[in-house]
Structures are given as C-alpha cells and as structure tokens.
Structure 1
Amino acid sequence: MYLLDTNILIWILRGDEGCRRLLQKLKTKGSIGISTISIAEVYKNIFPSELVNTEELFRDFVVYDVSVVIAKQSGYYWQEFYRKTKNIHMMDCIIAATARNLDLTLVTLNKKDFPMKDIEFYSLPQSG
C-alpha cells in the first residue's frame, strides 16, 4: 500500500513520464492512496482547464481523510521537527502522519521534506 506525496501528483498532471511510469509500476504492486491534504494542495493552484484531468487522476486512488489520530500525530511531528529544523510544513506532517498511522509507504520526490524516521519511504530523484 502506497501513499503519494503531492509532488508526485503535480508531476503526473504536468505530464512527467518518469512519474507516470512510476504510477503504473506501483499499481502492479498494490493499492495507491492520497491524502485529502494533497487534494487541497493540488486544487490551490489548479486552472479550470486542468479540472477534468485532475478529477480523472484522483479517481484512481484511495483517498484518506485526516482522522483525530492522524491530526494528533501531525502536531507531534511538527513540534519535534520544527524545533530542530525550522523548515517543516504542517501539510507534510499530516501526509507523513497519514502514512505512519495507516502503515503506508510514502512515495515522494522530496524526502528532505520528511525527516521522520518512523515511516517507510519509496523515494526517487527529483524530476524536471
């Protein structure tokens, strides 16, 4: 079971062939999910012309809501890592907490955004 980070979704929507191939590869290995947070992050910059393709892409995934347990874990992550790095975002904490609490492998192009040691990663080199 995999959880896609928002950056993977953005690159797929931009037509990145590497990320599209990755998506096809992951589909053969198990189910793929996204956080409702990733939906919000994609929609904050969406153009009307991208709406249909975005909706079609999202239909391929299990969508995970933010539960109370995930929300609490997100807060703990932020407290721990903001003190250390001053460079962590709450959205990333929520995505990481989703992966941790649902035992999902996080697929990201930016592992540096996730200093957590208690989640599993499937990382790739930066596209573009």
Structure 2
Amino acid sequence: MIVLDTTILIDVLRGDSAARRVLGALAETPACSELTRVEVLRGVRPPELIATNTLLESLNWLPVTTSVAARAGDLGASFRKTHGALGVVELVIAATAIEASAKLLTLNVKRFPMFPGLRAPYKMSK
C-alpha cells in the first residue's frame, strides 16, 4: 500500500507533470489519511472544487483510528528532542502509513524523520 502526503496531491491538482507521472505509475490505488483530505479541502477555491473532488474520490481513505492517534502521539514524543515539535497533521499521516504497513510518498521528507531513508519521488517545482 502507498500512502500519499498532501504535498503530492497539491502538485497533482496544480498540474505538475512529475506528480501526475508518479501518481499514474502506481500499480495500485493509493491511500491517504483523512487529515490529508482536510488539508486539501481547506485551500480549495470554488473553481477548483470539481477537479479536487474528482481526485479525492479516486483515492482510498484511511480513518484516524484510536491506534493511529496513539501512534501519532508516540511519534511526536519520540522525535520531539531531535526534530522539535512536528505538526499534528504530519504525525497523523505518518502514523496512518505505519499502522497500514504502507510506504509514504511525500515531498516534505524533513517533516517525516520516522521513515529512515525516505526520499521525495520527484523534485519540487519552483
């Protein structure tokens, strides 16, 4: 299973060709944390709503369960000394991927220190 971070979805919605290639090359339908849905929808403008909803409907969605919430809290505590206060959204996305035994795809590699060797699947557009 592949879990996508918000950065990948935003790039797809912006028409980034590298992001679209990565998404199109996946052998399975990727999944996302429900918090990713919140992050995407909070920034959507009315003219973008149809395309955004079409993309969101094409993905599998993983709930924030009690075990995901507990894992997110544990991750935050574990990495606080070495990485400062990581964002709650990143912690929940990471915990979602870990609990699902999934690979995480993100451009925000520094925000996910709990995945040693994590690399961005493409270079961020400027």
User: TM-score normalised to the size of structure 2?
Assistant: 0.92
Q: Is the 8 A contact 2:6 2:36 kept in 1?
A: yes
Q: How does 1:53-64 map to 2 (within 5 A)?
A: 53-64=51-62
**Residue 100 (structure 1) aligns with:** 98
What's the CA shift string for 1:66-105, capped at 9, x where partnerless? 0000000000111111222214111101000000001111
Amino acid at match of 1:65: P
Q: How does 1:7-86 map to 2 (within 5 A)?
A: 7-26=7-26, 29-86=27-84
**Residue 2 (structure 1) aligns with:** 2
**Residue 124 (structure 2) aligns with:** 127
Gaps of 5+ in 1: none
Q: Is the 8 A contact 2:32 2:59 kept in 1?
A: yes
Structure 1 CA distance for aligned equivalents of residues 41 and 105 of structure 2: 20
Identify the structure with the greater strand proportion: 1
Aligned length: 125
Aligned-residue sequence identity (percent) comes to 32
Tell me the SS of whatever aligns to 2:79: helix
Q: Is the 8 A contact 2:22 2:121 kept in 1?
A: no
| Shift in Å, 1:126 | 3.1
Structure 2 CA distance for aligned equivalents of residues 114 and 85 of structure 1: 10
| Shift in Å, 1:122 | 6.0
Tell me the SS of whatever aligns to 2:123: coil
Gaps of 5+ in 2: none
User: TM-score normalised to the size of structure 1?
Assistant: 0.90
